[in-house]
Amino acid sequence: MKIPGETQQWLLESDIPYVRYNAARLFKPGSEDAADLAKDPFIKENISCLKSWSSEILKQHNRPDLLMHRLAMLADLGVTKDHPGMKAVIDTILKQTTPEGIPLTMIQIPKVFGGTDIPALDWILCDFPLILYALLKMRVKNQKIDEAVRKFQELVDENGFRCKGSIPKFKGPGRREDMCPIVNVFAARVFSASESLMKSKAASFAVEALLSHWEKQKEKKYFMFGIGTDFKKLKFPLVWYNILHVLEPLSHFKGLRKDSRFLEMIDVLVSKADDVMRFTPESMYTIFKGRDFANKKEPSMTVTLFALRIVKRAGM
């Protein structure tokens, strides 16, 4: 599958700095200009938001404006620990951890899910792995991170990662023994951050959980997560359970290039491209209205960039 030269140039000459930077990394490795990220207004805006990390109260994990999603998005766009403004943010995150290094967030869990309705510093598996992924992707290396990764791997079950947390009575809206799809997406993201982690047993359980759900999509729905029309719509940023978000980490696992389930997902993604391999958002988060990835009427440079990265990693 050949990516047309005109689409490559479209991205390489984008008026969006982070697109230019990442397109150069994709098509002309070594030619990327770090200044593109440093001066990007969208990057600056999101880093500025992260300064309020310690004061945010997390009530719903699927909100696109949550700081953990902004942090992960910055990591996906190439921002590292050395980027201007990130040191203070990372220092704040690392000060707010358990003795095992698990990042804590101020969470307000309703009583119906085993919480108290009172905000408290805790963790559940649909927040801490995503934060851990972002730190790993941003090249943060220290003993706390290593310990958090070890602890995370210990939390896996044979059917993947389940709905768990530091709150003793916590349980999401599903069966306790079921795997949780979004947790396994976040888990796959953690493991995709390095070759050694991708080879771990915990990684294989998380990946298989996601592929099995795809295989049984007409039969299974876990914790309100199904695979239907909405799942298959292209949507950015990568926040909740959808095809672009699932393929982002899975595409790093080279062993999946012969897995029929993975290839079926890739085929669905590719089928959404136009005749020059550009992709148009099919759903959007209204808080990002005005951004190229929140316009369902024309191809998006951002969505195209992420889709083509996946296709290229998949060996297509």
**CATH number, domain containing residue 26:** 1.50.10
What's the domain range around 238?
18-313
The residue among 188 and 1 whose pLDDT is bigger is: 188
When pLDDT is averaged across residues 124-152 and rounded to a whole number, the result is 95
Which of the residue ranges 99-113, 224-238, 273-287 would you say has the lowest mean pLDDT? 99-113
The helix/strand/coil state of 180 is coil
Q: Is the pLDDT at 176 greater than 90, yes or no?
A: no
Q: Which residue has the higher pLDDT, 223 or 201?
A: 201
Q: Does some domain include residue 26?
A: yes
User: Which H helix or E strand runs over 87?
Assistant: helix 86-95
Assess if residue 153 is contained within a domain: yes
For 166, the token pair is 């530091």
Helix axes 17-27, 5-12, angle to 10 degrees: 140
For residue 100, is it within any domain?
A: yes
Domain count across the chain: 1
pLDDT of residue 47 exceeding 90: yes
Task: Give the residue-averaged pLDDT of 195-220.
Answer: 94
pLDDT band at 110 (very low <50, low <70, confident <90, very high): confident
pLDDT at position 252 is 97
Question: Per the domain annotation, does 131 fall within a domain?
Answer: yes
pLDDT at 169 over 90: no
Cα–Cα nearest to 294, from 237, 233, 232, 229: 237
